[in-house]
């Protein structure tokens, strides 16, 4: 709910995902559920409650996967605190999936980060092996044979906002052709 460029961080993230080649955006909420719900609905996202949010990020990933309909062939996991990861990165992951990737991971400078696409065939593995606040990272490391790396350096930035200092640093970032990030409003 922190302000980023004059609007809540989650709104900046959802706005950046507009146009992503996905059937539905699901926002998993925990403690700030009611405040986030209104923003998510305004961006045509479906809200799913995670009553176990305090147990870590893995419970939110599982709640999101369980919320997907039976027709879903894959799910993209993106984080609300990464407002510069948008539709183009998701489009690349979906393209990798369409070419056969079971797990497509966005990379920046050769390092795997978010977002990550998981084909439905690996969801049971995630449910079994994820725990705590590490999300799916440990599963990806344990099963490199499933992973397709997808370079996204030129279309997204994985900077995340965990502290007030991170927020200030990101708002002052000068992006070529876009000016200061904190002054941008889509």
For 79-119, write each residue's pLDDT tens digit.
Answer: 999 999 999 999 999 999 999 999 999 999 999 999 999 99
Nearest by Cα to 33 from 45, 47, 21:
47
Average pLDDT value for the chain: 89
- pTM for the whole structure: 0.89
For 151-182, write each residue's pLDDT tens digit.
Answer: 999 999 998 888 888 888 888 775 444 444 44
Handedness of CA 47, 52, 56, 62 (dihedral sign): negative
pLDDT in the model for residue 122: 98
Buried residues in 66-76 as b, exposed as e (16+ CB within 10 A):
ebbeeebebbb
> 109's torsion region: left (phi>0), alpha (psi -120 to 50) or beta?
left
39 touches 14 (CB < 8 A): yes
For 37-69, write each residue's pLDDT tens digit.
Answer: 899 999 999 999 999 999 999 999 999 999 999
What domains are defined for the chain?
3-155 (3.90.550.10)
Rounded CA separation 18/100 (Å):
25
């Amino acid at each position: 709910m922190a302000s980023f460029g004059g609007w809540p961080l989650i709104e900046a993230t959802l706005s950046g995902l507009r146009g992503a080649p996905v059937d539905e955006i699901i926002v998993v909420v925990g403690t700030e559920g009611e405040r986030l719900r209104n923003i998510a609905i305004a961006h045509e996202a479906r809200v799913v409650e995670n009553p176990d949010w305090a147990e870590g990020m893995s419970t939110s990933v599982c709640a999101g996967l369980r919320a997907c309909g039976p027709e879903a062939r894959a799910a993209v996991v993106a984080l609300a605190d990464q407002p510069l990861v948008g539709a183009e990165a998701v489009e690349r992951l979906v393209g990798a999936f369409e070419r056969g990737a079971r797990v497509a991971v966005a990379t920046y400078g050769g390092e795997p980060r978010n977002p990550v696409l998981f084909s439905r065939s690996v969801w049971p593995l995630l449910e079994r092996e994820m725990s705590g606040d590490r999300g799916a990272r440990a599963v990806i490391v344990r099963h490199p044979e499933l992973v397709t790396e997808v370079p996204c350096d030129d279309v997204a930035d994985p900077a995340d906002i965990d502290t007030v200092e991170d927020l200030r640093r990101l708002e002052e970032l000068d992006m070529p052709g876009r000016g200061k990030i904190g002054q941008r409003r889509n």
